[in-house]
Amino acid sequence: MAVSFYGQDVVSPLMLGTAQYPSPEILRDAVLAAQPGVVTVSLRRESAGERAGQAFWSLIQELKVPVLPNTAGCHTVKEAVTTAHMAREVFGTDWVKLEVIGELDTLQPDVFGLVEAARILTEDGFKVFPYTTEDLVVAEKLLAVGCEVLMPWGAPIGSGKGLNNVFGLRAMRAHFPGVPLVVDAGIGVPSHAAQALELGYDAVLINTAVAKAGDPVNMARAFRLAVEAGELARIADPMEERDMAVPSTPVAGKAMLA
């Protein structure tokens, strides 16, 4: 049941963000509880005095989970490309979660800039994980410029609304049967993650749902169990939906009591 991105197997379909936890200790315990296949990280300005980034880097190294740096907060192709280059040097990986944000209220990706940035970065040797929408035309263009993974949103980042367009996500799965697909953004509770896996998605990327839970460590564990359940359910081949009832208890042999 291994998930593979750009030829590299990861141990779990759960990808976990590292932001917004109450403390570094809770972040570490949440990662240990979630047992994610990947953790996402970012870059910010470093103060020579505080060196906050150095302490965070030590923590990440201790966790021994593959890192996926993001370009969060970038609104232009140039910003995203430059950030990706800086991330590659700092984190020592050519993986990049490419975000080019187009709209502030929804943090919806600017899909035009996204395709352009993905093209440039792929040519520069990056393995791009594009944060996109469920738009099939955009997805085709991302694959055409070299992306080998697609990460459509479930709902706006941090909203916790789950899979807002199940029809669209299902269509995407059906349209790209061989492409690793990750629901990134919008997942609020473990059942949303299980649903994504049941739909045939290869992985989910969670951050706020764990970090902002009342008990992040137990929520991390709940997500680990949810992705395991969803993955197992997909393999077990769910039943077809029906519009009308069909009795599950056999009618034959029923006593005549009327």
Partner 1 sequence: MKVVVNDTAHEVSAKTLAALIDELGYSGARIATALNGRFVPKATRDETPLEEGAQIEIVAPMQGG
Interface with partner 1 (CB under 8 A): 17-21, 27, 40-49, 51-54, 56-57, 60, 69-70, 72, 78, 82, 85-87, 89-91, 157, 205, 207-208
Contacts of 243 (CB under 8 A, 6+ apart): none
Token pair of 238, please? 């769910």
CB of 143 to partner 1, least distance (A): 24
- Indicate the burial class of 57 (C-beta count within 10 angstroms; 0-12, 13-18, 19 or more): middle
CA 94/CA 102 separation, integer angstroms: 24
> What's the CA angle centered on 255, arms 250 and 256, to 5 degrees?
120
Q: Do residues 186 and 154 touch, judged by C-beta distance below 8 A?
A: yes
CB of 241 to partner 1, least distance (A): 33
Q: Is 7 marked as binding a ligand?
A: no
CB of 53 to partner 1, least distance (A): 3
CA 65/CA 40 separation, integer angstroms: 10
Is 161 an annotated catalytic residue?
A: no
Q: Which is nearer to partner 1, 96 or 199 (CB)?
A: 96
Q: Is 218 marked as binding a ligand?
A: no
Catalytic residue among 64, 78, 97, 161: 97
Helical axes 111-123 vs 136-144, angle rounded to 10°? 20
CB of 41 to partner 1, least distance (A): 5
Q: Which is nearer to partner 1, 143 or 189 (CB)?
A: 189
Q: Which is nearer to partner 1, 7 or 92 (CB)?
A: 92
Q: Is 162 marked as binding a ligand?
A: no
Q: Do residues 133 and 160 touch, judged by C-beta distance below 8 A?
A: no
Q: Which is nearer to partner 1, 98 or 234 (CB)?
A: 98
User: Radius of gyration over alpha carbons of the chain, in Å?
Assistant: 20
CB of 129 to partner 1, least distance (A): 13
Other Cβ atoms closer than 10 A to 235: 9
Q: Which is nearer to partner 1, 131 or 173 (CB)?
A: 131
CA 64 to each of CA 11, 38, 67, 90, 244: distance values in angstroms, whole numbers, following the listed order? 12, 10, 9, 16, 50
- Binding residues for 1-deoxy-D-xylulose 5-phosphate, as ranges, are 158, 185-186, 207-208
The set of catalytic residues is 97
